């Protein structure tokens, strides 16, 4: 299954609303997760089931979508959100990740 | 705190072998499916292998099939990745990741800190 994540990078300012999209080549219903990875760190789960916020994740993060089209939004970008974000499908084996979106200031 | 800790990485020559380990703690390891995910320098995340909680179901990515073996020892709360015939392109940080149940849409909810494998002559 192919994952197409866009954009590959974006530049934004503190307080901006940011949206990242992820498209899958097949219907994955809502078996879609989003991860945040900061430089030198392991990935961190943000959202699963396309829209369910993982415990402890700030509410400015949200996810939506179903089928083949998904998005991750950050309502008000904070300095600590500087990171690369990945989508991942868990409906089919093998599991697959998007190419990543680097968020810069 | 639920934790995964990888070990076993290092420098290995092309064609060599290496065994990675991942120790789980503070959760019921035997009830979780597990994955290995790697990340080459400056690149994205690449899933490479999955093992079910009992070890009865195993999957490999095409890029490593035939060269790696995933296994687990639930009595030791440990996951392993045996790698053979290593190539330059296997140089990466290797992460183990816990997979949640269907209720949690099989998400990878807990990750280790990673262990670095460098393949170089």
Q: What is the pLDDT of residue B28?
A: 97
Q: A67: buried, middle or exposed (CB in 10 Å: 19+, 13-18, 0-12)?
A: middle
Strand partners, B19: B82
Per-residue pLDDT reduced to its tens digit, A66-86: 999 999 999 999 999 999 999
The residue of chain B with its CA nearest to that of A39 is B42
Which residues are CB-neighbours of B33 under 8 A, at least 6 positions away?
B50, B51, B52, B53, B98, B99, B106
B112 touches chain A (CB under 8 A): yes
Comparing CA positions, the residue from B61, B100, B46 lying closest to residue A45 is B100
Q: List CB contacts of A40: < 8 A, sequence separation 6 or more.
A: none
Contact A70/B at CB under 8 A: no
Question: Distance (Å, rounded) from C-alpha A38 to C-alpha A56?
Answer: 17
Q: Are B109 and A49 inside 8 Å of each other by CB?
A: no
Q: What's the pLDDT at B119? A: 98
The confidence band for A21, taking pLDDT boundaries of 50, 70 and 90, is very high
> Quick one: which of A46, A42, A50 has its CA closest to A61?
A46
pLDDT, tens digit, 9 for 90 and up, residues B44-95 = 999 999 999 999 999 999 999 999 999 999 999 999 999 999 999 999 999 9
The string of pLDDT tens digits covering residues B4-40 is 999 999 999 999 999 999 999 999 999 999 999 999 9
Average pLDDT of A88-96?
Answer: 95
Question: For residues A71 and A63, what is the distance between their CA atoms, to the nearest angstrom?
Answer: 6
Sign of the torsion formed by the C-alpha atoms of B68, A98, B35 and B60: negative
Closest CA–CA distance from residue A13 to any residue of chain B (Å): 24
pLDDT of residue B13: 97
């Amino acid at each position: 299954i192919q994952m197409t994540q866009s954009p590959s990078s974006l530049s934004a300012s503190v307080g901006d609303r940011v949206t990242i999209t992820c498209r899958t080549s097949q219907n994955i219903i809502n078996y879609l997760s989003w991860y945040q990875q900061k430089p030198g760190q392991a990935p961190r789960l943000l959202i699963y089931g396309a829209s369910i916020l993982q415990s402890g994740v700030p509410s400015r993060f949200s996810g939506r979508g179903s089928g083949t089209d998904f998005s991750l939004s950050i309502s008000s970008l904070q300095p600590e959100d500087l990171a690369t974000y990945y989508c991942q499908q868990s409906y089919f084996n093998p599991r697959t990740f998007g190419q990543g979106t680097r968020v810069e200031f | 705190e639920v934790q995964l800790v990888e070990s076993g990485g290092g420098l290995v020559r092309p064609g060599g072998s290496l065994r990675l380990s991942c120790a789980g703690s503070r959760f019921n390891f035997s009830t979780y499916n597990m994955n290995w995910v790697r990340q080459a320098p400056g690149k994205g995340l690449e899933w490479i292998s999955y093992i079910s909680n009992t070890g009865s179901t195993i999957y490999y990515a095409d890029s490593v099939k035939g060269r790696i073996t995933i296994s687990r020892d639930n009595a030791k709360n440990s996951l392993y990745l045996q790698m053979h015939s290593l190539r330059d392109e296997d140089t990466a940080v290797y992460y183990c990741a816990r997979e949640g149940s269907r209720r949690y849409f099989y998400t990878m909810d807990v990750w280790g800190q990673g262990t670095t494998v460098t393949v170089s002559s």
